[in-house]
Amino acid sequence: MATSAAVLWSPLHELTKPSPVSPERFRSSHLSLDAKHPLTSGRLQTMNSIPTTRVAASVAGAYGKISESVEKGKEAAVEEEHKTVEAIKTELYRALQGSFRGVFGVKSAEKLEIEELVMKLESRNPTPNPTDHLMDKVHGCWKLIYSTVVILGSKRTKLGLRDFINLGDIYQIIDVEKAKAKNVINFNAKGIKSLTGQLIIEALYRIASKTRVNIELENSSITPAQFMCLFQKNYDLLIAIFNPEGWLEITYVDEFMRIGRDDKGNIFVMERAEQEFSKH
């Protein structure tokens, strides 16, 4: 019985047992079928006909165009920002016309407009860490174009700035190598243009942070002697007004303009001076 079952089973087993196929034969028949298949033959031929170098060049070209487009976008944004800054500066200069640097005060509406424009520039400061760039950004001669330091009422009368003396240009000279700042206030006698003088205030500064310097008054003087006689009685008042001692935050600086705020809440807007003040 066992022999008969084996005999009956064996043919069926042989019929259903899969025939071994070598990898080479499988690969050959598979490729041959695909190559001849109507849905794949054209695609394979096309793919095989494209050189690898052409594909790489196409990808590189596309990437290059994207990079170029990104760079152009960045340049356009920088140019637009520059135009915006220049437009704000133009508006600021317009607002400052007739303000006499703010030293004798300005109307509330004008003051508000000026300070709003100042804040717009500060928000676009191209030098976020100015004390790291004092030599190339701050060193040299600057001219004051606006300040919230004011001389009003009895102070102006006591200093003779109503009847006897005209206040002229105010400069600041920064010497980074010596860590010194010199403020030069020019004035002349009313009716006598040839009689001019200067109040010179010298100070030392020390870097306190990436944006701030601490300032220490060193000395002051008035020349010529005739003006010292005029100011002698109220000399302490004069120095108190222009004394830079304390700290100064540099809130904006570029190649042509600098803005600062001090510990007393004052704002100073300065522009690069084309030439230094006249020396006595």
Q: Considering the domain boundaries, does residue 224 fall inside one?
A: yes
Question: Given pLDDT bands bounded at 50, 70 and 90, which one contains residue 231?
Answer: confident
CA–CA separation, 35 vs 51, rounded Å? 19
Closest CA to 103 of 147, 72, 66: 147
Does the residue 7 lie in any domain? no
Could you tell me what percent of the chain has a pLDDT over 70? Answer: 69
Q: Give the H/E segment covering residue 173.
A: strand 165-175
102 by Cβ neighbours in 10 Å (0-12 / 13-18 / 19+) ranks as buried
How wide is the angle at C-alpha 44 spanned by C-alphas 39 and 47, nearest 5°?
135
Asked whether residue 42 is domain-assigned, the answer is no
* Residue 40 tokens, joined: 């794949």
pLDDT at 194: 74
Tell me the H-state helices in 97-190.
108-122, 153-158
In a domain, 220, yes or no: yes
User: Cβ contacts of residue 244 below 8 Å, gap of 6+?
Assistant: 181, 183, 201, 203, 215, 217, 262
**Within a domain: residue 8?**
no
3-state secondary structure of 162: coil
pTM: predicted TM-score of the whole model, two decimal places = 0.71
pLDDT at 154: 93
Does residue 185 surpass a pLDDT of 50?
yes
* pLDDT tens, residue by residue, 139-164: 999 999 999 999 999 999 999 998 88
Residue 215, domain member (yes or no): yes
Residue 111 burial (CB count, 10 A): 17
C-alpha 194/C-alpha 190 separation (Å) is 10
Per-residue pLDDT at 12: 41
Query: Does some domain include residue 9?
Result: no
Q: CATH number of the domain that 143 lies in?
A: 2.40.128.280
As a whole number of angstroms, the distance between CA 173 and CA 10 comes to: 111
pLDDT at 57: 62
**Domains: count for the chain:** 1
- Asked if residues 168 and 199 have their Cβ atoms less than 8 Å apart, the reply is no
- Domain extent for 254: 75-272
**Six token digits for residue 78:** 């920088």
Structural domain contains residue 80:
yes
**pLDDT tops 70 at residue 272:** yes
